[in-house]
Amino acid sequence: MAERIIASPQNPYVKLIKRLRTRRGPGRLGKALVEGVRLVEEALSSGAEVEFLIRSRSFEDEFYQEWARSLGVPVLVLEDALFREVMDTETPQGLAAVCATRLLSPEHLPQGDLFVILDRVSDPGNLGTILRSSDAAAADGVVLLKGCADPHGTKALRAAMGSTFHLPLIRADRLEAVTGRLRGAGVRLLAADLEGRDVFSVDLRRPVALVIGNEAHGISPEVKGLVDEVVRIPMPGRAESLNAAVAASILLYEAIRQRTAGASL
């Protein structure tokens, strides 16, 4: 473990950390800034490739020395004021890591019977929450189509609460890149929309990929034309629509309910 004390905001490492806070930084650099003790723990336990650790000078943690020694990666020690300046959270915990990111290509779509496909889900908080729900529901993978927020951005990582590191994430420019593999494995594609069949009357016990659209505009016409069925979540109240992350969670847990032993439509 080699610690390096940094006090200058012009240091190349500091500039890299700041770039990872930008919207396109993680995708362009292939790295993610993981902030906070819990998220660093999740990244480590999930086998993420940690390039270096960052701690504030005043940070103390009983497990920190063990982590740093076992990883054998550089440790940057930032003066407290500089650490607060470069981190994205308002009250940083004093520990962060820079990790290499990994997005699978469509040809590496894993086998499974429950997938989530995101069509231009652009809000990183929504994206992170969907990843968290997908992880909780034991989804086999999440496909991110062109126009989605970066799952390795700082806001998406915080919203996912570590689930980013637990799920296969597949990047595909177009839905056609994965439809062949999904249908070849017997997976039906169901798109959530304001119109369509009541999802509570649809059989989700069979292999299924749930397609969630953009927060403001829903599923694109191109994507809608490729799915097997459009389904809706009943809304007997006065709300016009549901948040994308809420809709995804409802659909995932309806699939779980139906698949639970003894459950019926």
Is there a single domain that holds both residue 91 and residue 133?
Answer: no
pLDDT values of the chain reduced to their tens digit, one per residue, 265 residues: 678 899 999 999 999 999 999 999 999 999 999 999 999 999 998 999 999 999 999 998 767 777 777 888 889 999 999 999 999 998 999 999 999 999 999 999 999 999 999 999 999 999 999 999 999 999 999 999 999 999 999 999 999 999 999 999 999 999 999 999 999 999 999 999 998 999 999 999 999 999 999 988 999 999 999 999 999 999 999 998 999 999 999 999 999 999 996 665 6
Residue numbers of the domain that contains 230: 106-259
Among 100, 123, 150, the domain-final residue is 100
In a domain, 264, yes or no: no
CATH code for the domain in which residue 92 is found:
3.30.1330.30
User: CB–CB of 226/175 below 8 Å?
Assistant: yes
Is there a single domain that holds both residue 169 and residue 122?
Answer: yes
Is there a single domain that holds both residue 118 and residue 246?
Answer: yes
In a domain, 115, yes or no: yes
Report the C-alpha gap between 45 and 79 in whole angstroms.
27
Is there a single domain that holds both residue 161 and residue 191?
Answer: yes
Structurally, the chain folds into a number of domains equal to 2
In a domain, 265, yes or no: no
CATH code for the domain in which residue 187 is found:
3.40.1280.10
